[in-house]
Amino acid sequence: MKVIIINGPMGVGKTTVGKYIAEKYTGTAFIDGDWCLDIHPFVGNRETKIMAIDNILHMIDNYKKCSICKMVVLVWLMDEQWVYQKVVDGISDMELEVKSFTLTCDKNTLVNRWESDKNCEWRTNEWLEISLKSLSFFSSLGNCIDTSGLTIDIIEDMIMH
């Protein structure tokens, strides 16, 4: 079984791309890491991130045991190397194939995507500023795909092939 990890800043399109891939490929499970850290009010400290990683790995392990599941797509904002490494190491320990990508875009594209997303409760001006400031960090990571001006079909093709 293969696990595709899609990382990147808030609003870049991780969830949109991940769901698109999951819907296109039969037997694909979709995991949004935010589901595994859904505490109100939100607290993103070391303790809650460790809990979320454990939840993610537990879900992936259960999908591994399911004969119908052929692939898992995990989308999550991992802006600390230790978080990313724990996820990758945990998946590798399950002897699963891991493909990891970081989605980025230019500032104008991020603002436009942010403003057109009316469903996400995180789409506030405060979080937009945080996301814009994180673009340079995510652009420095490996396996980056600059999604500015790309269609979802092109992004999916770059990830899957």
CATH number at residue 68: 3.40.50.300
Q: Is 49 left (phi over 0), alpha (psi -120 to 50) or beta?
A: alpha
The pLDDT score that the predictor gives to residue 120 is: 80
The pLDDT score that the predictor gives to residue 117 is: 86
Helices 14-24 and 152-160: crossing angle in degrees, nearest 10, is: 70
Pairwise CA distance, residues 112 & 137, whole Å: 20
Q: Could you say which DSSP state residue 119 is in?
A: S
Averaged pLDDT, 20-38: 96
Pairwise CA distance, residues 21 & 100, whole Å: 14
Pairwise CA distance, residues 92 & 111, whole Å: 35
The pLDDT score that the predictor gives to residue 142 is: 85
Confidence of residue 23 (pLDDT cuts 50, 70, 90): very high
- Cα 124 → chain centroid: 20
Q: Could you say which DSSP state residue 35 is in?
A: G
Alpha helix (H) ranges present in 37-146?
A: 46-64, 81-93, 107-116, 125-139
The token pair that represents 98 in the structure block? 């891991």
For residue 136, give the amino acid letter: S
Instruction: Note the pLDDT tens digit of each residue in 66-120.
Output: 999 999 999 999 999 999 999 999 999 999 999 999 999 999 999 999 999 888 8
Pairwise CA distance, residues 122 & 1, whole Å: 32
Domain hosting 73: range is: 2-160
Instruction: Note the pLDDT tens digit of each residue in 109-155.
Output: 999 999 998 888 778 999 999 999 999 999 999 899 999 999 999 99
pTM: 0.96
The pLDDT score that the predictor gives to residue 99 is: 97
Number of domains making up the chain: 1
